[in-house]
Amino acid sequence: MSAELAIGIHDLSFATTEFVLPHTTLAAHNGTEIGKYHVGIGLRSMSVPAADEDIVTMGAAAAKPVVARHGGDRIRTVVLATESSVDQSKAAGIYVHSLLGLPSSTRVVELKQACYGGTAALQFAVGLVRRDPSQRVLVIASDVSKYELDSPGEPTQGAAAVAMLVGADPALLRIEEPSGLFTADIMDFWRPNYLSTALVDGQDSVAAYLHALDGAWKDYTEQGGRRLDEFRAFCYHQPFPKMAYKAHRQLLRNAGLDSDESLVAHHIGDTTGYNSVVGNSYTASMYLGLASLLENAQDDLSDRTIGLFSYGSGSVAEFYAGTVVPGYRAHLRVREHDEAVTRRRPIDYAGYRALHQLSLPEDGGEHAVAAQTGGPYRLAALSGHKRIYRPR
């Protein structure tokens, strides 16, 4: 990136759901030793959407504090990344744009490429700001991770949205050039249009993730990127938190560096806090890791470089770097994010199962949606095959 124009993340906010299913409850149902969840995959609970929550309500809830703090006049673009889209044509971000009351002089688009989509949106935003540094771009990554009941993927489910304001002279993280890129055609995880739950080959997906990491890092170094020992911490996409540890050990070994567990923990440990209690949030996952790092690292990260690895099955990956801006702590949302997690209501297994199996009517009639969420926005009704969102 040119020295004269710093572009990056100016603000970051996240939201999650009304309900939470502790993994102790899931383990009691299926007879699994709790250590398989708490230790084996690094998860303690997962967010469960209420009947009237989806990617739109979470996305708007995440973005609301950003718009309240900075206003919407300079936001010329809204990019919503998701693999849980609510419509095959209309961008979910248009609903968010309306709920937030943003100006009509705004472009709104939706991006998709599995869990990588949030990073595609961020890089798109950086390019727009580089072209016109006076504008800001609102990037929203919002997803509901859903697998078949009693399937191997079920314990990794979750839901969350991250909203990021991207602009010049950012307050949190300066995005650097270059990026390392990797794409391969592989069916490790996918969801056909006719299914409501994802399909995944667990072993293939882990192998594809690690292969993509190798390829993206190789390209990053060939493009003139930083040495591995220049980074203070690394944020990885976390389909489950222990995947970040597995990935980082491989990256260190392949670079000929010590993969001692204390070093791995130093690089990764502060990034898993939110993901461990929210579960997999697909496009939002890596950026939940970034929020966790900025809010929980005990040392001052000012002017320290963070490595970020984004992976989306199918597959596309990107490795890039960001430098933390001095004074970043004054702009964090520690209290709000803690409240987003702690306000969730625990749900029993029967309640979770009922929500998992809930399907909205498809007959085009008039249907009110049960009011359950305590968040600021809700899916209120369906009418004539149209989704109707309202402030709560």
8 Å CB contact between 304 and 232: yes
Per-residue DSSP letters for 145-187? Answer: E---TTSTTGGG-EEEEEEEEEEES-SSEEEPS--EEEE----
Among left, alpha and beta (phi > 0; psi -120 to 50; other), residue 314 is left
Pairing of strands 367-368, 199-200: unpaired
Summarised one tens digit per residue, pLDDT across range 310-369 is 999 999 999 999 999 999 999 999 999 999 999 999 999 999 999 999 999 999 999 999
325: phi then psi, degrees, rounded to nearest 5: -85, 130
pLDDT digits (tens, 9 = 90+) for 124-165: 999 999 999 999 999 999 999 999 999 999 999 999 999 999
Which pLDDT does position 37 carry in this prediction?
A: 98
Answer yes or no: is 208 within a domain.
yes
Residue written as tokens 């085009």? 364
For all residues of the chain together, what is the average pLDDT? 97
Residue with tokens 């490429």: 113
Look up residue 172 and give its two tokens. Answer: 């949190």
CB atoms within 10 A of CB 307: 23
Examine the pLDDT at 2 and tell me if it is beyond 70. no
CA 23, CA 20: separation in Å to the nearest integer? 9
Catalytic residue among 23, 237, 267, 356: 237
115 is catalytic: yes
Average pLDDT over residues 34-62: 98
Under 8 Å between Cβ of 213 and 309: yes
Number of domains the chain contains: 1
Q: Percentage of the chain with pLDDT > 70?
A: 99
Comparison of pLDDT for 60 and 254, the residue scoring more: 60
pLDDT tens for residues 169-188? 999 999 999 999 999 999 99
The span from the CA of 377 to the CA of 391, in Å, is 4
3-state DSSP assignment of residue 118: helix
Residue 264 lies in a domain: yes
Q: For residue 237, indicate whether it is catalytic.
A: yes
Asked whether residue 1 is domain-assigned, the answer is no
Sign of CA dihedral 85, 86, 88, 91: negative
Alpha-carbon distance 244 to 330, whole Å? 28
Mean pLDDT, to the nearest integer, of 238-262? 94
- Classify residue 2: in a domain, yes or no: no
Catalytic residue among 10, 23, 110, 115: 115
- 260 vs 84: which has the higher pLDDT: 84
**pLDDT at site 3:** 52
Domain CATH code at residue 336: 3.40.47.10
Residue from 18, 53, 83, 176 carrying the catalytic annotation: 83
Q: How confident is the model at residue 258 (pLDDT cuts 50, 70, 90)?
A: confident
Q: Sign of dihedral through CA atoms 42, 158, 152, 202?
A: negative
In a domain, 31, yes or no: yes
Q: Which domain holds residue 334?
A: 7-391
CB 3: neighbour CB atoms within 10 A? 5
Active site residue 266: no
Task: State residue 311's pLDDT score.
Answer: 98
Rounded to the nearest 10 degrees, how much is the dihedral formed by the CA atoms of 29, 34, 39, 44?
60
> Does any domain span residue 277?
yes
Per-residue pLDDT tens for 279-303? 999 999 999 999 999 999 999 999 9
